[in-house]
Amino acid sequence: DIWGLYRGSGKSCYAILHMEEGNLAGRETELFSAPNEESEAEMLSALTAQYYLPRAILPHEILLPMETEDCEELSEVLTKRAGHKVWVHVPQRGEKAELRAMAQRNAQEETERATTVEERTAYTLELLGKMLNLPEPPKRMESFDISNTGKSDIVASMVVYVNAKPLKRDYRRFKLKDMDGPDDYASMEQVLTRRFRRYLDGDEKFVEKPDLLLIDGGLEHVRVARRVLEAMALDIPAFGMVK
């Protein structure tokens, strides 16, 4: 048996190629869901044990796509059950390595065929939420950037994404006022204050509250954003984006 395993966006899949005397005798694929915190090696270890331990007839050789902690232990257990040597290992080169790559492709193709665009998007947002330690995946994200094209021509942009798609009708541009010259921190403070003051005032153009702020800048820019939010008693996560 040759195993392939692929973790996709939302779904995962394993594929098993059954070989007899050098010929492909059968193929199995199965889709499943796995926790994000579980590694592929851990997934594979659990799957192979669940698949083979109940079986009475076992192959002489099982090729895996990666090492697991219990390869040797599984070999010993299956050898005792089968009454013949069962070698569980990862092929490194030659024809067996090519078969392993084929099984991997089978698993990947089946996963991608069965995964919808919506599931990929949901999976991406879930990963982002976990990466930023948010209580749940963000739906509405707003990003702010300051552009200085001259001493008195300072403009801020607000870009909006909802469910990972741009919502261009909510994009906004702010011409900053009463600025003596370029000052990213003062500019960011002004634009965020104006944006959220209009939200608190019930302005229909700013009625939506974001789940996440992405600020074009580093830690100091984020501190400015958090200071503005705290002053307005708003609890919105803010993170910097450093080029």
Q: pLDDT tens digits, residue range 129-177? A: 999 999 999 999 999 998 876 666 788 899 999 988 899 989 999 988 8
pTM of the model: 0.59
Asked if pLDDT for residue 79 goes beyond 80, the answer is: yes
pLDDT tens-digit profile of 39-59?
A: 899 999 999 999 999 988 999
Structure token digits, residue 202: 């019930």
Structure token digits, residue 222: 């984020």
The span from the CA of 240 to the CA of 110, in Å, is: 37
Half-sphere exposure of 59 toward its Cβ, with a 13 Å CA cutoff?
A: 19
Asked if pLDDT for residue 102 goes beyond 80, the answer is: yes
Structure token digits, residue 42: 């851990």
Structure token digits, residue 187: 């500019």
In angstroms, what CA-CA distances link 169 with 48, 144, 161, 205?
50, 16, 10, 10
Are residues 147 and 155 in contact, defined by beta-carbon separation less than 8 angstroms? yes
Q: Which amino acid is at 68?
A: T
> How many other CB atoms are found less than 10 A from the CB of residue 192?
28
Element (H, E) at 224: helix 219-231
What pLDDT is attached to residue 91? Answer: 92
Are residues 138 and 212 in contact, defined by beta-carbon separation less than 8 angstroms? yes
What pLDDT is attached to residue 117? Answer: 77
Cα dihedral 159→162→168→173 (10° resolution): -30
Which of 203, 194, 208, 120 lies closest to 162 in space, CA to CA?
Answer: 208
240: β partners: 215
What pLDDT is attached to residue 151? Answer: 61
